[in-house]
Each structure stands twice: as structure tokens, then as C-alpha cells.
Amino acid sequence: AQSVTQLGSHVSVSEGALVLLRCNYSSSVPPYLFWYVQYPNQGLQLLLKYTSAATLVKGINGFEAEFKKSETSFHLTKPSAHMSDAAEYFCAVSNTGTASKLTFGTGTRLQVTL
Amino acid sequence: DADVTQTPRNRITKTGKRIMLECSQTKGHDRMYWYRQDPGLGLRLIYYSFDVKDINKGEISDGYSVSRQAQAKFSLSLESAIPNQTALYFCATSTGTGGTDTQYFGPGTRLTVL
């Protein structure tokens, strides 16, 4: 079975500060890992994904994530938060055995303050 | 126009009523999914379909049924709605190339069961 754990259901940062959203995974086979973002009153959209090529993955809107097998982590970062980054962020895992079935974490709501 | 559309966007109904949520896509994808989102629980997979003749249960299919009328249409039914089915429901599609698939989400249907 595969799963992801997102530490912190709510994260608050000041505009311009570093954003760090944590995700740890559990998978019996090499995983594929995703970060999706949900803006208010919208569906989810893909930020970035790890597909076993490069361990440092760059996504849209200045976000990036690093796959660390030794730590079973895939944390999402952005050097400088913007007010428009306020949203809910979901980490998700799949693998070749699940043929594109995603298992989502419980989500982290990011608040950006002035 | 949106690639994945859901109707209705909001629905209030009463316990015991039959409800159908509809999803249409213009992306030409074979794979379609239904999820429900509850606060603090993330997204959970209800049903998924890899093509018109291939429909599979997800992790929380009890109380739900689906119909894949065409490649572009995937409907979710609640035969006899109950209050704990109050949630935000999302339809998604993907290309079907494997575990690295990006899923594309509709805007969601907010369902309230009184």
C-alpha cells in the first residue's frame, strides 16, 4: 500500500519569506510523487511531479521539490512567498503498480500575510 | 471553454433522494475518476474508469454508483443520499500512459445532504 503524510494542516508565512510544505511518503515500490494546488473555489491543478528522472523538480509559479529517498520525503519549497500563493496544497503518490491511481495526502493550507 | 466540466456546481438535497453528478471532458482522455474531498481528509477515490468498458471501485465506493456513457462522459450517482455524503466532489481525467499521468480536475460539485 502507498500513502503520503503532510505535516502541518495550516502553514502561515509572511510575504517574501520562504515557503516549506512537508510531505513524506510510504511505498513498497519506487514511487511517482506529485504536488497539486487548489485555489479557492477551484479544482486541483498540477504544480510539479517526480517521475524518477531528476531528483530536484521545478514546477510552475517558482515552486520546486526535492525527492529524497533516504528520508522518504518530497518537500515543496518556494524561496519567496507571494500573496497569490495562498491556497491548499496536496501531495500525492502513485506507482507503476497502480497505473495512474493517485493517493492524496490530507492537504496543507498556506496562508500568506503582509 | 473548460476542458473538464461538472454539473451541477452546487446541489442541496434531502436524505433518501437519488442524485446524479455529471462530468464531461473535451481533452480526449480515456481515464476518468471521481473523488470526494472532506476537510482534513484530502481527496479520496470513489470510482475510476480506464475506458468505456472498464470501471473500477476506489477506496470509498459504498453508497455510490457510476456510469461511463461515452469516452467524454462519466456520471456519479448517489442512489439514496445520506448526510455524511455531504462533500465536495471532483471529476478528473488523465491520458492513461501510466503512473506518471497528470490528472486534470474539474471545478467541483458542492453537495449538501440535509
By Cβ distance, the residue of B40, B96, B107 closest to A9 is B40
CB of B102 within 8 Å of a chain A CB? The answer is yes
Closest CA of chain A from B97, distance in Å: 8
Provide the residue type at A41 as one letter.
Answer: N
Contact state of B31 with A100 under an 8 Å Cβ cutoff: yes
Give A52-74 as a DSSP string.
Answer: SS-SEEE-GGG-EEEEEGGGTEE
The values of phi and psi at residue B80, to 5°, are -145, 95
**Tens digit of each residue's pLDDT (9 = 90 or more) over B45-76:** 999 999 899 999 999 999 999 999 999 999 99
Q: Which residues of A touch B97 (CB under 8 A)?
A: 100
Gap between the Cα atoms of B107 and B8, Å rounded: 10
Q: Which residues of B touch A96 (CB under 8 A)?
A: 98-99
Q: Which residues of A touch B31 (CB under 8 A)?
A: 100
Determine contact, residues B79/B16, Cβ cutoff 8 Å: no
Gap between the Cα atoms of A65 and A17, Å rounded: 17
Q: Which residues of B touch A98 (CB under 8 A)?
A: 99
Q: What is the pLDDT of residue A97?
A: 59
Q: Which residues of A touch B94 (CB under 8 A)?
A: 100
Determine contact, residues A16/A112, Cβ cutoff 8 Å: no
Closest CA of chain B from A97, distance in Å: 8
**Tens digit of each residue's pLDDT (9 = 90 or more) over A22-78:** 999 998 778 899 999 999 988 999 999 998 878 999 999 999 999 999 999 999 999
Gap between the Cα atoms of A3 and A10, Å rounded: 20
Contact state of A104 with B43 under an 8 Å Cβ cutoff: yes
Rounded to 5 degrees, what angle do the CA atoms A8, A11, A13 make? 155
Confidence class for position A98, pLDDT limits 50, 70, 90: low
Contact state of A32 with B41 under an 8 Å Cβ cutoff: no
Q: What is the pLDDT of residue A63?
A: 97
Confidence class for position A79, pLDDT limits 50, 70, 90: very high
